[in-house]
Structure 1
Amino acid sequence: MTLRQMVANVVQRTLGDMFPAYFQTSAKHDHFKDFGWPDQLTFAQFYRMYRRNGLATAGVDKTIAKTWEDNPELWESETPAESPLEGDIRKAFERLRLWHRFATADTRSMVGCYAGVILRLRDGLPFDAPVGRVAGGLEGLAEVIPVWESQLTVAEWDADPRSETYGQPRFYQFNESALGGTSKSPRQFRVHPDRVIIWSDDGTVNGVSALEPGYNDLLDAEKIKGAGGEGFWKTSRGAPVVGAPEGMTQADVAKAMGVSPAELVDALNDQLESFQAGFDKGLMLGGMTAVPMTISLPSPEHFFAAPVQSFAASLLMPLRVLIGNETGERASTEDAREWNKTCMARRTTRNVPLIREFVERLVRFGILPERDWTIGWADLTEATGAEKMERARGMAEINSKTPMEPVFTDDEIRETVGYDPLATRDDDGEGE
């Protein structure tokens, strides 16, 4: 090996240690470590991000608000008129605030890998007992309790290969105080799976937090925003560079400040910390000089925009929906349509199957009678009233250009805006 090669190798190793992200000495490389991203994520990190980061809160809460902008209904038939039983169900669900509790569980399932819904039944049995028949009809359902992932964990798995529930939880453990709080007597008990609905994509505890794909983006956005705020504060205050005049010793400075030489460093740090804490503080350094250090910060908007856009993409959410529009305009029509499709897909593939499971439980418990129950929920992708009127106006304009043979009938135009067809009329113009 020549001297030139030896020098090149030393330089490469040195630069690789100083800037590992750019001077890699191995094919394998850990970008998570380089960029300060956690390798493993826990519920505690997701929960803290949701509670303390505005982007995370907006991403979750806006998704839930759109998904649950109206409530579903339970129908025993698809006739327009509400049957007496459907009316009783609606009133019972309103009394229990059922749909609000389900929306809360949906929120918590987005933050964690899953959430839980505990059913408190008036069957006279403890929570860890299986459920048979519950007397009292709709009154048999006493409470619906949405819980966070950390509050509901698997206490015991079914390990018997001969069992029909092999590999599934045999019992859950509910701990109301898992998130802290001020309750004087938090509830804590084991729960049988009959009394639990796991709220996740597949109805199991093996879900994925909605914040996980964009978690690194949220961290990057926090760094840029926090560094910008701290940097502007430091710049406006003027971080000082402390220097001593030539010939001044450490003992001289300590004597001037009224401390011993051993206490000098702590005394200087206290002075600087107090000075940096506010705009109206003085600085006494015992003969030493403090020169303000100015920092020129680049505009953070461009750096901040990249992780925000990436986080919005991780939620399949248009950027305008996530952060709004600076000019006060609403999201574009195309963005709104795509967002409606995304949230409608959440209704169809995630929430409706879980609601159906809940209904099937009530039927099995005898709380609801056996019916071919239908879950009715409005279509978020349906055109708005203004869009329907615009379509009807266009149809009428087309007819006006072809008066001899109208393209659309009056009833077709009325149907476009949601009106019933015109009543059949006799020759005198009066309805039959």
Structure 2
Amino acid sequence: MSSPPDAEPTSTALDVLAVPRRRYLLAALLERGDTSAVGSPATTAAMSLAALATEVATTERDRPIVTDEQCARTRTDLVHAHVPRLVDIGVLVRIDDGDAPTVALADHPLLEAEWVRTLLDDPTGEAFPAAETTLNRTLEALRRPRRRIVCASLAARRGAVPLSTLAAAVVAREGGDGMRLVDVSEEEWLPVAETLTHDHLPALSDAGLVAYDDAAGRAALVTIAPQWESDWLLEGPLADSAVPIAAVRESSGGSTADNSVSNAATGEAAVNGDHEGDHVHAEGCETIIGAGPVHARGRDIAAGADAELVVTVPDGSRLERECLEQWHAAAERGVDVYVGSQSPRVRDTVRSMVPDAAVCEPQFDWLNFPLEATQHGHVVFADRERALVVTTDGADSDAESRVSALAGDGRENPLVSVLRDHLGPRLDRLAAAHDDRDVRDGTPLPM
């Protein structure tokens, strides 16, 4: 089977751009030199690796001044990892000039693509409609050509698609030469279905582009994913998905909500609200269905926290290493992080991995009570303006637990208002208690 003719250069571009430091490096060279118009060869003046490391370090820390140690660490990483890779691809040329080696952009077609130049004009994703972590996951997920074909195949269909149908559609698209779905045999689509299940769909789900229910064997494109608001994505890596996505956005007045799409997890018709794949909009709040999209939203909220981040975790099954890393990153950038859990194991893990967080023990039951085997308790609350309340339904012991969440954005949002009313006074007391008390003995603060 063959991939589309432009798959290889697109994959190369995504391989370069998925790593933030490579974006910062290329953007610094473009900005410093003579940036030619899109469609023409890019030419820049050479920069020393020391100067380039300083530019990259200031960009990734969003500070005009960085320490010598930070510059040195960045320079080491550039010298040993990123510059050699970019030289091998042909995007950079190295100019050894005595004790001050320099690099410059090469005349490479990658830098002539309009979508690439658009992204490099905004390497930190300030104009991207989601956090930079979501941008990074999106670029990483789309590096593989088959995942882009999966998106195009799902975009051509409304609602949730059975895995067998999706696998056959992928085979037909990869086959090219007018290969039709009916021409694909079970022998051809079965091994593709395996790779979708164990590799491609989980990666796309983690990026928030696809809703995938492993138990039901169905997948759907998340057409309200914020990534679709970025024109360069539809003009570049996912150009094959642009027409159907644009049609959905136009039919809904510029929004990506589509009332006709069925529930991605169950395949059932929409009821009581505006459904789109794994999302439901009702009364100013949004219901998200499926572990992948729920976790992606939680990470996005945590990554966007500016001053305060509150997380409650009912048990260790909700604790992912990536979440711990995000909480640690938030604390490092000056965000007040509060993590509450009734599980001693969770609290010990947070103390070890996020030492600057205030570890708390909830003293109330309204977020933790069982209701017909549905567990409430995992909450993400940022800046008292963005909220996510997760529920896990484990009522059917013969099936995997189903994860869903209610999300709200904005201070006037009903869900945000409820959480602010309940948690606000407790958070004010927690802040004072955390300042006045030495909690290094392991005793959690009462929440």
Q: TM-score with structure 1 length normalisation? A: 0.25
In terms of fraction of residues, the more strand-rich structure is: 2
Q: Tell me: higher relative CO, structure 1 or 2? Use CA pairs within 8 A at least 6 residues apart.
A: 1
Q: Which has the larger radius of gyration?
A: 1
Q: TM-score with structure 2 length normalisation? A: 0.25
